[in-house]
Amino acid sequence: MAILVGVAEDYGYTITFNIKHLNGLPADLTGCTVTLGARIDNPSYVPIERTCTISITPTLGVCAYTIQQGDFIQPGQYDVELTITNTGLSKVTTVQGMIFNVRPRKT
């Protein structure tokens, strides 16, 4: 399980993901779209769904997301997943098991 740490209302920094197969080889992201999803256990908070940027060389399995203003404004523990959609193969893969702990902003 990967655990990331951030501060509520911070934005502009990039989280990089190295997506690999179980055998350790990088996943080929050619022709894919990668979406970051994040949810917190708070009924008034709308889940985050954002598109990641795939590296210049998609065969390396690297993608990234730059935190935008308005993402992760609520302190707490977010369950994070990546959804990889390969439209050419009509295949969807979900990578789960990531936690993003967001601390309150110090005033």
Residue ranges of domains in the chain: 2-98
Task: Mark 78-102 as b/e (b = at least 16 C-beta within 10 Å).
Answer: bebebbbbeeeeeeeeebeebebeb
* Distance, CA of 28 to CA of 21 (rounded, Å): 9
pTM (two decimals): 0.86
**Tens of pLDDT, residue by residue, the chain (107 residues):** 677 788 888 999 999 999 998 899 999 999 999 999 999 988 788 889 999 999 989 999 999 999 999 999 889 999 999 999 987 777 778 888 888 989 988 87
State whether CATH 2.60.40 applies to domain 2-98.
Answer: yes
Query: Which of 106, 101, 85, 103 is closest to 4 using CA atoms?
Result: 101
Question: What does residue 58 show for φ and ψ, rounded to 5 degrees?
Answer: -65, -20
Q: Token pair for residue 72? A: 């992760």
Q: Token pair for residue 62? A: 């690297």
